[in-house]
Amino acid sequence: MIAVWYCVVGFMLTAYVVLDGRNFGAGMLHRAVARTPEERRQVIGAIGPLWSWHEVWLVGFGGTLLAVFPRLMATAFAGYYLALFLILWGLILRGIAIEVGGHIDNRLWQEFWDVVFVFASFLLAILFGAAAGNLARGVPLDAAGNFSMAFFTNFGVRGNVGLLDWYTVSVAIFAAVVLAAHGATYLTMKTEGGVHERSEAWARRLWVASGPLFVAISVETRIVRPDLPGPAVHNPLWALGLLVVVISAAMLVSGLVTRRELRAFVGSNGVLFGLLGTGGVTLFPVMLHSTLVPGNSLTAYAVASTPRALFLASIWWPVAFVLANAYFVFISRRYAGKVSVQRDNQGFY
Amino acid sequence: MGPGVSDPAFWSRFQFAFTVTYHYLFPQLTMGLAWFLVYWKWRALRSGDRRFDQAVRFWAKIFGLNLAVGVVTGIPMEFQFGTNWAGFSRYAGGVVGQTLAMEGMFAFFLESAFVGALIWGEKRLGPRYHFVATLAVAVGSWLSGYFILVTNAFMQHPVGYRIEADGSLGIESLGAYLLNPWAWVQFAHNQMAALVTGSFVIAAVGAFYALQGLHPMQARLCLRAGTCVGLIASVLVAFPTGDQQAKMVGRHQPVTLAAMEGRFVGGPMAGVAMIGQPNVAARRLDNPIELPGALSFLAYGTFESYVHGLEEYPEDVWPDNIELLYYAFHLMITLGTLFIVLMAYGTFQSWRGRLESSAPLLWVLMLAFPFPYIANTLGWMTAELGRQPWLVFGLFRTREGYSQVVSNGDTIFTLIGFVGLYFVLGLLFLFLVGREIARGPGEVAAAPRRAEQPA
């Protein structure tokens, strides 16, 4: 049961990153792919009416984490204190920039919010990347199961670490590149004209760049955590995750080469999903790894709620999950196809 | 006992109070406006009357801005349970996590999927599905209110839990937890209060147009709907929901009721103070003018009923800010009474067909819209200050709930960040909503994308 809930919570966070990652990517590239006000409206229209639905995956993740792993939420959120607030502020800025940027038909107004949008998207991609790096590297958990982490200490990866060090910074850079590539792939599919062409060029460039970065990150991870992947390689889910990555990467490459936009985007989603999923399987059952003493690490079994809480949640959660996706399918079908600025004045009045 | 500025619990409380008070300025309008939109959309669908479509388009823009600020200021709230209240999350997360998760999974997915389509998707969806989207957003927003109120009701009156071996709380019965009687009463009271806010805002905009002679059709629509719903909702806030809420406090939190009324000595024939200042050091109400027996009657049904006084309880279970609690409660009641009077008069004039021509009344309606926000805030202050010193009433103290590992420096830093960000957000919101109101619903039909309206 606890392992299942570990998967559910991991799935929700992964779904959030994959879904909102495209918006971060589109946001980071906003000024690069869209040159005119009309083109910028295409980008905002492509992010579409569902960006807040994407963001709800993060909210749903937070709530579900509290319900099924309350002690983890308490430890991790208090420990990652400053980083989390930066993420929250970034999300506020990003949301507001999307919503109000088109309210006034004035060049200065729109340029201001465009820049806020780009800045917040970069900030979020980098912070989520650093957060992923922190999950892999571990945090300075003490014997009581608490930690409090500074932004940075000595940029080393052992002992009393900070949020940023050479490893987490490089994961953050990798995340920014991959999410930008993901966003570019999405924009390629959703737009026409100049935005489409520039997005396509960016998608190729960024995906090519992410290959060597991925190799570098893998080597770094091996140095930082020589104990990984460890016993996880015997888990069939681990192999499945890698298989998803390989197949998706093949789809992505062939989609990019043959200009099959949907195939490329499905591949792009699959690559992110597979990478994060494999990472989750590798870390299981540890949810927070201690850089001080491995024995201080918090496993899913140590932080889980009562069996009754897990049982009750497993009754209603699947219902809510099916409903949530039904709404998504309903709305997505209505917004299928390329963005039309005439029809979709998302965010514009 | 007073909170000192070096006390980490004080700063975490201050931060939560600030962020949640600010946040709740927005959802109350969202929840209040949502059903007006549903009603107008339905009327438009049934009758094809373009006035209603126009009203929906105009108010949907204000609704969208309001909802956007509500969403972005709401997300931090959930995370603050972990960041600043780790002790509470460890202790009660196994229970309250259920509803916080349900809020996201059931309510927010529904609301967020349809809100973009409600505001911008009229053409993509067509009139019928656009109505569905409006309804979905309204249901989602009220559902999220319910889950949050269940969470709060558990903190006020814990039910459906059991104490686990490690001393923390675990969920025992999801049914009992979700159907907490406190939650039902509080939900009814709170949702009616949200409708009051919605009605006052709609009436204020109608009055603003009527006084200038602008958009006469829309002004009339807003004034009639605003005063009529405003009257019904204002009455329902007081009776039966407010009345039941006070009885619930009297039954389950008698010490809170004593503090709300500034009653130090218990006894029968307890009065409701019309005027008076609590003097906690001297343990009395200064300069009291009381309605004798009213509190006994309201809380327990007869004038002879015994109402407890604070002195019957040890001081360490007294709410820690009796003065503020007393004023919050009394000002809320005063405002609520004035709302009924104003909206009753407005409805009466509207029924006589004289509302639009009665300039003094229109002035009052136009300027009255901030007061429901104040009354809603005061109501929540009453609920939350009244719960002190407990985080979970009778079980877990507020002082035990904050995050031990977070320094005051970190909390104050993030508090300053929120104050700055929310100040800018507030200016932006007022500017944009003011601009929409200034442009008015009339121009909507002239905007290019809305040229091809359904007849």
Phi first, then psi, for residue A72 (nearest 5°) are: -70, -45
Q: Is B94–A321 a contact, with Cβ atoms under 8 angstroms apart?
A: no
Q: At B97, which amino acid appears?
A: G
Q: Give B25's pLDDT tier (boundaries 50, 70, 90).
A: very high
Q: Is A53–B82 a contact, with Cβ atoms under 8 angstroms apart?
A: no
Across the range B80-93, mean pLDDT stands at 92
Cβ of A324: how many Cβ atoms within 10 Å? 22
Lookup: tokens for A312: 């009750």
Q: Is B114–A96 a contact, with Cβ atoms under 8 angstroms apart?
A: no
Across the range A56-64, mean pLDDT stands at 91
Is A279 part of any domain? Answer: no
End-to-end C-alpha distance for chain A, whole angstroms: 49
Q: Is A79–B114 a contact, with Cβ atoms under 8 angstroms apart?
A: no
Is A26 part of any domain? Answer: yes
Residue with tokens 């006894």: B267
What residues does B272 pair with on adjacent strands? B291
- Residue A342's pLDDT is 61
What residues does B154 pair with on adjacent strands? none
Cβ of B334: how many Cβ atoms within 10 Å? 13
| Cα B199 to Cα B284: distance, rounded to the nearest angstrom | 39
Phi first, then psi, for residue B397 (nearest 5°) are: -85, 150
Among candidates A50, A71, A148 on the partner chain, residue whose Cβ is nearest the Cβ of B405: A148
Is A243 part of any domain? Answer: no
Length of chain B: 455
For chain B, give the percent of residues with pLDDT over 90. Answer: 68
- Neighboring chain B residues of A66 at a CB cutoff of 8 Å: 78, 81-82, 89, 93, 96-97, 100-101
Q: How far is A302 from chain B (nearest CA, A)?
A: 12
Q: Is A78–B174 a contact, with Cβ atoms under 8 angstroms apart?
A: no
- Neighboring chain A residues of B101 at a CB cutoff of 8 Å: 60, 63-64, 66-68, 313, 317
The alpha carbon dihedral of A209, A212, A216, A221 has a sign of positive
- Residue B452's pLDDT is 39
**A47 alpha carbon, distance to own chain's centre:** 15
- Residue B269's pLDDT is 85
| Cα A170 to Cα A91: distance, rounded to the nearest angstrom | 22
Q: Is B138 helix (H, G, I), strand (E, B) or coil?
A: helix
Q: Give A114's pLDDT tier (boundaries 50, 70, 90).
A: very high
- Residue B334's pLDDT is 93
Length of chain A: 349
- Residue B431's pLDDT is 95
Total number of domains in chain A: 1
Mean pLDDT of the residues in chain A: 88
What residues does A139 pair with on adjacent strands? A290
Is B284 part of any domain? Answer: no
Q: Yes or no: say if A336 and B118 are a contact pair by the CB < 8 Å rule.
A: no
DSSP labels, A248-293: HHHHHHHHHHHT-HHHHHHHHHHHHHHHHHHHHHHHTTEEE-BSS-
Among candidates B68, B113, B406 on the partner chain, residue whose Cβ is nearest the Cβ of A148: B406
Q: Among A21-30, A202-211, B281-290, where is mean pLDDT lowest?
A: B281-290
Across the range B178-193, mean pLDDT stands at 95
Across the range A282-293, mean pLDDT stands at 85
Give residue-wise pLDDT tens across range A206-233: 999 999 999 999 898 888 888 878 788 8
Give residue-wise pLDDT tens across range A255-274: 989 989 899 999 999 999 99
Q: Is A146–B405 a contact, with Cβ atoms under 8 angstroms apart?
A: yes
Is B291 part of any domain? Answer: no
Q: Give B449's pLDDT tier (boundaries 50, 70, 90).
A: very low
Torsion of CA B232, B238, B243, B246, to 10 degrees: 140
Q: Does an H or E element contain B163, and which? A: strand B161-163
Among candidates B68, B101, B123 on the partner chain, residue whose Cβ is nearest the Cβ of A63: B101
Give residue-wise pLDDT tens across range B133-142: 999 999 999 9
Q: Is B357 helix (H, G, I), strand (E, B) or coil?
A: coil
Among candidates B100, B117, B168 on the partner chain, residue whose Cβ is nearest the Cβ of A331: B117
Interface check A293 vs B, CB under 8 A? no
Q: Does an H or E element contain A338, and which? A: none
- Residue A106's pLDDT is 86
Interface check A71 vs B, CB under 8 A? yes
Is A269 part of any domain? Answer: no
Q: Give A344's pLDDT tier (boundaries 50, 70, 90).
A: low
Phi first, then psi, for residue B277 (nearest 5°) are: -120, 125
Classify residue A230 as exposed, middle or buried by CB count within 10 Å of its CB (0-12, 13-18, 19+).
Answer: exposed
Q: Give B198's pLDDT tier (boundaries 50, 70, 90).
A: very high
Radius of gyration for chain B, computed over Cα atoms and rounded to the nearest angstrom? 23
Across the range A99-125, mean pLDDT stands at 90
DSSP labels, B267-301: BSSPPEEEEEEEETTTTEEEEEEEETTHHHHHHHS
Lookup: tokens for A42: 């295409």
Q: Give B455's pLDDT tier (boundaries 50, 70, 90).
A: very low
Write the CB contacts of B348 (distance below 8 Å, at least 6 apart in sequence): none
Q: Give A141's pLDDT tier (boundaries 50, 70, 90).
A: confident
| Nearest chain A residue to B417, by CA | A89
Give residue-wise pLDDT tens across range A189-209: 988 888 999 999 999 999 999
| Cα B320 to Cα B385: distance, rounded to the nearest angstrom | 8
| Cα B160 to Cα B171: distance, rounded to the nearest angstrom | 6
DSSP state of B167: S
Total number of domains in chain B: 1
- pLDDT value at A346 more than 60: no
Is B199 part of any domain? Answer: yes
- Residue B391's pLDDT is 95
How much is the ipTM here? 0.88
Is A244 part of any domain? Answer: no
Across the range A13-42, mean pLDDT stands at 91
Q: Cα dist. B336→B271, B277, B372 in Å?
A: 19, 20, 8
For chain A, give the percent of residues with pLDDT over 90. Answer: 48
- pLDDT value at B453 more than 60: no
Among candidates B86, B97, B112 on the partner chain, residue whose Cβ is nearest the Cβ of A56: B112
- Neighboring chain A residues of B170 at a CB cutoff of 8 Å: 305-306, 308-309
- Residue B133's pLDDT is 92
Q: Yes or no: say if A48 and A26 are a contact pair by the CB < 8 Å rule.
A: no
- pLDDT value at A345 more than 80: no
Task: Tell me the HSE value of A313 on the side-chain side, using a 13 A CA sphere.
Answer: 36
Range of the domain at A56: 2-222+295-333
Interface test with A, best of B72, B143, B407, B419 (most A CBs within 10 A): B72
Is A317 part of any domain? Answer: yes
Outline where DSSP puts E strands in chain A.
286-288, 298-299
| Nearest chain A residue to B64, by CA | A99
- Neighboring chain A residues of B63 at a CB cutoff of 8 Å: none
Cβ of B381: how many Cβ atoms within 10 Å? 20
- Residue B446's pLDDT is 38
- pLDDT value at B75 more than 60: yes
Is B258 part of any domain? Answer: yes
Q: What angle do CA A68, A72, A73 make, to 5 degrees?
A: 80
Mean pLDDT of the residues in chain B: 90
Q: Which A positions 141-170 lie with beta carbon below 8 A of chain B? A: 146-148
- Residue A326's pLDDT is 92
Q: How far is B294 from chain A (nearest CA, A)?
A: 43
Q: Does an H or E element contain A102, and which? A: none
Q: Is B410–A82 a contact, with Cβ atoms under 8 angstroms apart?
A: yes
| Cα B276 to Cα B264: distance, rounded to the nearest angstrom | 13
Range of the domain at B126: 8-266+308-450
Give residue-wise pLDDT tens across range B382-435: 999 999 999 999 999 999 999 988 888 899 999 999 999 999 999 999 999 999
Write the CB contacts of A106 (distance below 8 Å, at least 6 apart in sequence): none
- Residue A294's pLDDT is 83
For chain B, give the percent of residues with pLDDT over 70. Answer: 96
Is B125 part of any domain? Answer: yes
Among candidates B71, B98, B116 on the partner chain, residue whose Cβ is nearest the Cβ of A48: B116
B82-91, B292-301, B441-450, range with greatest mean pLDDT: B82-91
Q: Is A74–B100 a contact, with Cβ atoms under 8 angstroms apart?
A: no
Q: Is B94–A316 a contact, with Cβ atoms under 8 angstroms apart?
A: no
Interface check A58 vs B, CB under 8 A? yes
Q: Does an H or E element contain B390, and which? A: strand B390-392
Q: Does an H or E element contain A52, and which? A: helix A51-68
